[in-house]
Structure 1
Amino acid sequence: MATPQFICANWNPESTDCEKSGRYSCKNCLLVLYCGPNCHKAHWPVHKVDCNSLLAKQTWKPDWVLENRTPAFVGGGPGVQFGGKKYLFGNVPALDVLQLGSNEGGNYGGPLRLLFAASGDLRNAVKTIAQLPNSYSGSVEVTMNDRDLDVVARNVIALLIALVVDNIEEAVDCIIHVWYSALIRKSDLDILQQRIHPLIKSVCEKTKGKPPSSLLAKSSWDRLLSFTDVPAGLTVERAQRIRTAVTLAESRKDYRDRHLLFQSSSHRIAKKRFWEDGLLLPFGSRRNDFQGPNPTFFQDTDAWPMYDNADPLNGWSLQEVRDYPSGPATADIYGKLFYYLRAVLRAFAVRLSSLQVAFRLFQMDASDLATDHLESGSFDRIEVSNISDGGYLGIHRTLAVMVPLLQSPLANPHATLITLFMNAVDENMTDADRIADMARHSPATKRLLKYLPLKGMPNSQSDPELIKFIFARDSVATHDHIFDRVVKNFKFAEAAQFLGAAMKEKHTIIEKWRFRLKLRPGQPGAQEEFDRLLAGGVSGKERYVEWKRIAIYEDEVNGKGTAT
């Protein structure tokens, strides 16, 4: 992809003096770019509001400190949530589920069949296809399912944009804003209404008379059609009021400030901007063109569908995003994400145009997938998000549904089922475990003090240093013994063997503890790694498990065979 064009923050279409190309940044915040001193000076009355913000100061303190009160989350716990109940953004960084080089091999050319059984957004499919080796020229069949129609509808629309818009750059920017921005441009809405709407409407015409239980039920397609149209009467102003009533709710001020405790000064400013306008753009980009509510978010005129902490950054590797070039505006974290997504989505679109790729999308509970809809023994990879957690299907039902869909070791010895346990450690941690980690001389405490040395005895439970210390503890503790207890208590091995499967001892796709700190305190880059983990959306307690089918002979169907 060509080097991104970084735009001067003072540029506008009527400008005669601006050179448009941003060549240097504001040295105070490193958030915006300018073509020269004249534009910097001209733009200062606008930029100084952010650049001189209290959030930009190293001395910034949360409001609960300034107001000398106990923060709202003390006693409420980290699990308190606010806003809509939908997960339209990924909340765990995307992964490439193939990793061909470590599995089938970089020269593999056979067909690939992938199942994302509880897909959430498109990120895992996008990253997987974008990272296919250039040498791969086989066919790829991607099956995606989610029980939430909003998720499936948004995925369908993003895929259609990638497939029908000829100009890749235009398609990529449109996907980014439809996926992540609360408001979209007229050009984006034109694509939805003039290119995507007619395609969906033609299917609606064909589904007339289909029974409600049919995969092509008319009601689902009619609902899908509504995602291309802004609800009647919904203005930009009303849409933003609806959204900010969630993202800037007064009752959630302390929760936002707690999140900002772990951010750098410039990132605090960027976070506040995104909470305010909900536009995924470089910090200094013009907002004038974003004049329409994004209909894939606003399905009615009185609700914002997501939790207040939903953040596009949580769906992608924060290290990859931070390392992505954004010109001299090195602190512009959402700008980096914007340019990173441009590159990933462009690679995805290029691979779609050069490969034989087919998509199938379902909208149902993952437990119903195997019933009449999918062929047994047909998938090279199955990724199921965290439905194996106890609050969803649980590991036994997940294995029972998914293992039969996985290819046998004779067909593909690298076929893998990927499960994620996001909540298992918390749900199975005992009081004794917590006390052991919190002990003054515990390994976790000693390690944490090397990253966050306390400057003195905390004044109260509201002391920001103490709050940071408490919430950072999970990032330095090890939880293997707790997860081993989960494996034993829930009889992972026995359940898998009964179904003709086994846990993979050596992972070949994703690290078991993907988000655990890799460096030791004092090593080069260790503090940066620690700070990055705390600033992101994961805790370090997330545990992946890879599964494979094993050869079974005699009475396989009845589960009485012997595994080899």
Structure 2
Amino acid sequence: MPDSTLAETLRCSLDNMNTKQEKVSALLSAMDQGREHRPLNGSGLNNTSLDDLSSRVDWMDLARQHGIEEDLVASILNLDSRDTSTHLNFLECGNHDLMASPSRRCRNKATKTCSQCLLVSYCSAGCQKEHWRNHKQDCKHPLRLNDWQPRWVQEQRSPAFMQSGTGSNKQTFHGKDLSLWGNMPAIDILNLNENEGLAASQTRDLALAFVASGDLRNVIRTVNELPENYAGTLKILINDRDQMVQCRNLLLLVALGMIPELNEATEIAIHLWYSLFLPNHWLPEIMKILQSSGLITTDEGLCTLSPGPHSTLNILMDAETKFFFGSTFLLNEPDKLTLGIANNVWSTHMRDPNRVDYIERFYLNLEPSHRLAIDEWRRFGVLYPFDACSNYLNQPNPWLFSHDHELFLSDYSSPKEGWDMNAAFEAGKAHGTTRANLMGCLYFYLKDQLKSFAHRLRTFHIDISLVRYDAVELAKAIKNEAVPGIPRMISFDRIEVSNAVDAMYAGVKPMLEAWGPFLKPKAENEHAAIIGLFMNWPLYVEGARVKDSNAKMEEMTHKFTEQYPEIIPKDIGKDRKAMQKLNAIMMSVLHNTEICHDNSEAFNNYLRGNEAFKACKNAGLKTRTRNTIVPHRIAGTLGSEWNVLPPKLTGEKKYVLMDLQSFTWQERYVEWVKA
């Protein structure tokens, strides 16, 4: 961008901003844009200093006009280039303030944690003392009070979600509510240890189909669970019918497979996937790769990339999706989707006063610092450790917004719903952070997962085909030899159909009849299976839910409180405030009672009513009565029969599954194999 245009664009942006923090972020973004876009060096940075920029654009004059201190700009201009990096391999000292005079950012390894909140760590007592003025507002935040209660309890009123849905408290939604992030923890669809065997699979060629993939989490978990010395050929088909989902998956695969430096590749992927903002030199780097591949510069919708010496990425993009792909870059570029617009849309979406009761309902049983950690993410939309320096994530992520700048996410979307948070806590500990630093733990966990996946793309023999079809039509396209990299006579070791088997989507009968013929015969692999997820089935079967019957509700509530008596404190008082607190606790009880409900008979009735068993016979399949890949219910035991309830949850597992993540406890996984 020419310097005059850059200055004018920044001036217009600053004119439309109200807060100093927004203006400083815009200034940082413009400084970054003004850099020459040279190839990245080994640390993932270019070599143009901010001092060079100060001679080409009068940053001081712009800052002076908009109330930003000159010495603040001077100190930013003098920052070492490595200070603009967002990469974290370990938790850094929390002592940073780019809006201070002079600005500061300590990048030493954090070794001392605030003993009160356990959210922020420092390299020394000196840094902790210097940062206290900034940190105390978080450390003493009302959400961290042990006796915190939702506003409806404090105000002694009924919460909005229990009212009739009229007036100011009616349920309000914003945005497009597109499922860009998984709401079930990632699974390994092979589970070799319980099936083919790890040692026996070291040289085995495998073919996997993710025919309604959504995001890439199941792909990543499956590849990462292969033996480290895997020497077979892995063929992966990734499909989703949604344009935005295919485009996002393409960008993630390009970042992970084609950005040369692994730290840079994984950092780009994390924030493209889950953050509202990115450093603005990332998208041009990806655009260079896409342009050189011919995907966005030719009329043909097919291109092949090579993530490693033995791997290929075959991309088939129809004309409609290709137009959508290019127009998203164009219509959501920084001068159209500005930092101010993105912040306003996010705030309107995630912090709507009419939705406060719905949000605080989720905070009810969380640990104090987890409440604040999630609230911090809802404020800023960046997946990063709590109070880490995220100022250089300052360009809106175009792949979370529609072309008219509406957010694609629902206000109950959260990165933590798609992953094993117990594993995330362990990863956070290994990288020097605390369990309280919830999003920091998830950041480091994802960094490990994505780095491992990117490494395997470069070293294993992996052939990926990325396409966009209706799930049933995809089977026909394979037979017509229309899917690049997938021969018409292929048979798969695993076919993951996700919740496309739900009645509101393709349905179980069409999916089994379409994909049963593509499952590998028993003679080739007796463990070959189709894996389906049923999430919405209770809506179609009378009596499937506890709340469908008052008698069943009473029975299950009693059973639940007997199994989990610790949920209701024995010392709770009898005044009005105490009763309001008890009502809040009972909401959590009612939310989780389904874990004690054997709904297997109702589920069988649902399958029968949707001709699932007839479809099995037609497709030469049978239903496993004992799953060997993923338990039939959340928290269930692998290998148990369908009517076996999950065992009693305790400790960390209970907290994560009942309080930290959101399940209906009615979700069911089903596996089908050749008859």
- TM-score scaled by length of structure 2: 0.75
Counterpart AA for 1:237 = G
Q: Which residue of 2 aligns with 1:48?
A: 136
Aligned partners of 1:442, 1:343: CA distance in 2, in Å? 43
1:225 and 2:326 correspond: yes
Contact 1:475–1:516 (8 Å) recurs in 2: no
1:412 and 2:525 correspond: yes
Alignment match of 2:192 (pick from 96, 100, 103): 100
Counterpart AA for 2:185 = P
Aligned partners of 1:70, 1:103: CA distance in 2, in Å? 51
Q: Which residue of 2 aligns with 1:562?
A: none
1:82 and 2:173 correspond: yes
How far does the alpha carbon of each residue in 1:142-196 deviate from its partner, in whole angstroms, 9 at most, with x for none? 1111111000000001101112111001100000000100110123233233334
Q: 1:407 to 1:441 in 2, by over 3 A?
A: closer
Q: 1:441 to 1:131 in 2, by over 3 A?
A: closer
Q: 1:244 to 1:200 in 2, by over 3 A?
A: farther
Unaligned runs of 5+ in 2: 1-86, 303-314, 480-487, 638-644
Aligned partners of 1:128, 1:73: CA distance in 2, in Å? 38
Q: CA deviation at 1:215?
A: 6.0
Alignment match of 2:397 (pick from 289, 294, 300): 294
Q: CA deviation at 1:499?
A: 1.8
Q: Which residue of 1 aligns with 2:443?
A: 338
SS at match of 1:73: helix
Contact 2:317–2:468 (8 Å) recurs in 1: no
Aligned partners of 1:10, 1:503: CA distance in 2, in Å? 57
1:532 and 2:626 correspond: no
How far does the alpha carbon of each residue in 1:41-90 deviate from its partner, in whole angstroms, 9 at most, with x for none? 1111111111111100011111112222211111479x978332211111
Q: CA deviation at 1:519?
A: 7.7
Q: CA deviation at 1:393?
A: 1.8
Contact 1:161–1:175 (8 Å) recurs in 2: yes
Contact 1:126–1:344 (8 Å) recurs in 2: yes
Aligned partners of 1:65, 1:200: CA distance in 2, in Å? 58
Structure 2 counterparts to residues 428-443 of structure 1, below 5 A: 428-430=541-543, 435-439=551-555, 442-443=558-559
Q: Once structures 1 and 2 are overlaid, which stretch shifts more, 149-158 or 477-486?
A: 477-486
SS at match of 2:116: coil
Q: Once structures 1 and 2 are overlaid, which stretch shifts more, 191-200 or 130-139?
A: 191-200
Q: 1:434 to 1:413 in 2, by over 3 A?
A: farther
Contact 2:291–2:297 (8 Å) recurs in 1: no
Q: CA deviation at 1:123?
A: 0.6
Q: 1:165 to 1:475 in 2, by over 3 A?
A: same
Q: Once structures 1 and 2 are overlaid, which stretch shifts more, 484-493 or 269-278?
A: 484-493
Alignment match of 1:256 (pick from 343, 359, 375): 359
Aligned partners of 1:372, 1:452: CA distance in 2, in Å? 55
Contact 1:409–1:415 (8 Å) recurs in 2: yes
Aligned partners of 2:186, 2:117: CA distance in 1, in Å? 29
Q: CA deviation at 1:324?
A: 2.2
Q: 1:121 to 1:434 in 2, by over 3 A?
A: farther
RCO (CA 8 Å, sep 6+): is it higher in 1 or 2?
1
Contact 1:419–1:546 (8 Å) recurs in 2: yes
Unaligned runs of 5+ in 1: 209-213, 551-564
Counterpart AA for 2:152 = W
Aligned partners of 1:189, 1:421: CA distance in 2, in Å? 37
Alignment match of 1:204 (pick from 290, 294, 298): 298
Q: CA deviation at 1:359?
A: 1.3
Q: Which residue of 1 aligns with 2:54?
A: none
Q: Which residue of 1 aligns with 2:287?
A: 193
Aligned partners of 1:461, 1:51: CA distance in 2, in Å? 24
Aligned partners of 1:124, 1:388: CA distance in 2, in Å? 17
Alignment match of 2:254 (pick from 140, 154, 160): 160
Contact 2:217–2:418 (8 Å) recurs in 1: yes
Q: 1:217 to 1:425 in 2, by over 3 A?
A: closer
Contact 1:70–1:462 (8 Å) recurs in 2: no
Alignment match of 1:388 (pick from 501, 504, 524): 501
Q: 1:321 to 1:158 in 2, by over 3 A?
A: same
Alignment match of 2:341 (pick from 232, 238, 249): 238
Q: Which residue of 1 aligns with 2:456?
A: 351
Alignment match of 1:503 (pick from 618, 623, 626): 623
How far does the alpha carbon of each residue in 1:417-445 deviate from its partner, in whole angstroms, 9 at most, with x for none? 00011122454251665532423884234
Contact 2:152–2:159 (8 Å) recurs in 1: yes
Contact 1:376–1:406 (8 Å) recurs in 2: no
Q: Which residue of 1 aligns with 2:560?
A: 444
Contact 1:425–1:479 (8 Å) recurs in 2: no
- TM-score scaled by length of structure 1: 0.88
Aligned partners of 2:270, 2:619: CA distance in 1, in Å? 41
Counterpart AA for 1:42 = E
SS at match of 2:247: helix
Q: 1:476 to 1:456 in 2, by over 3 A?
A: farther
1:482 and 2:602 correspond: yes
Aligned partners of 1:440, 1:111: CA distance in 2, in Å? 47
Aligned partners of 1:196, 1:399: CA distance in 2, in Å? 36
Q: Once structures 1 and 2 are overlaid, which stretch shifts more, 391-400 or 269-278?
A: 391-400
Q: 1:381 to 1:17 in 2, by over 3 A?
A: closer
1:132 and 2:226 correspond: yes
Aligned partners of 1:422, 1:519: CA distance in 2, in Å? 17
Contact 1:114–1:381 (8 Å) recurs in 2: yes
CA RMSD of aligned residues (A): 2.9
Counterpart AA for 2:673 = K
Counterpart AA for 2:663 = V
Counterpart AA for 2:151 = D
Alignment match of 2:671 (pick from 546, 555, 558): 546
Paired residue total: 540
Q: 1:203 to 1:401 in 2, by over 3 A?
A: farther
Aligned partners of 2:559, 2:154: CA distance in 1, in Å? 34
Aligned partners of 1:218, 1:166: CA distance in 2, in Å? 29
How far does the alpha carbon of each residue in 1:514-559 deviate from its partner, in whole angstroms, 9 at most, with x for none? 33498865xxx71432221122022322110100122xxxxxxxxx
Aligned partners of 2:284, 2:178: CA distance in 1, in Å? 26
Q: Which residue of 1 aligns with 2:310?
A: none
Q: Which residue of 2 aligns with 1:282?
A: 385
SS at match of 1:513: coil
How far does the alpha carbon of each residue in 1:295-335 deviate from its partner, in whole angstroms, 9 at most, with x for none? 11123243111111111101101221123234243310100
Q: 1:496 to 1:31 in 2, by over 3 A?
A: same
How far does the alpha carbon of each residue in 1:329-352 deviate from its partner, in whole angstroms, 9 at most, with x for none? 331010000000011111111111
How far does the alpha carbon of each residue in 1:122-154 deviate from its partner, in whole angstroms, 9 at most, with x for none? 111111111111131111111111111000000
Q: 1:445 to 1:292 in 2, by over 3 A?
A: same
How far does the alpha carbon of each residue in 1:80-101 deviate from its partner, in whole angstroms, 9 at most, with x for none? 7833221111111111111122
Q: 1:469 to 1:441 in 2, by over 3 A?
A: closer
Q: Once structures 1 and 2 are overlaid, which stretch shifts more, 173-182 or 317-326?
A: 317-326
Aligned partners of 2:377, 2:231: CA distance in 1, in Å? 40
Contact 2:171–2:354 (8 Å) recurs in 1: no
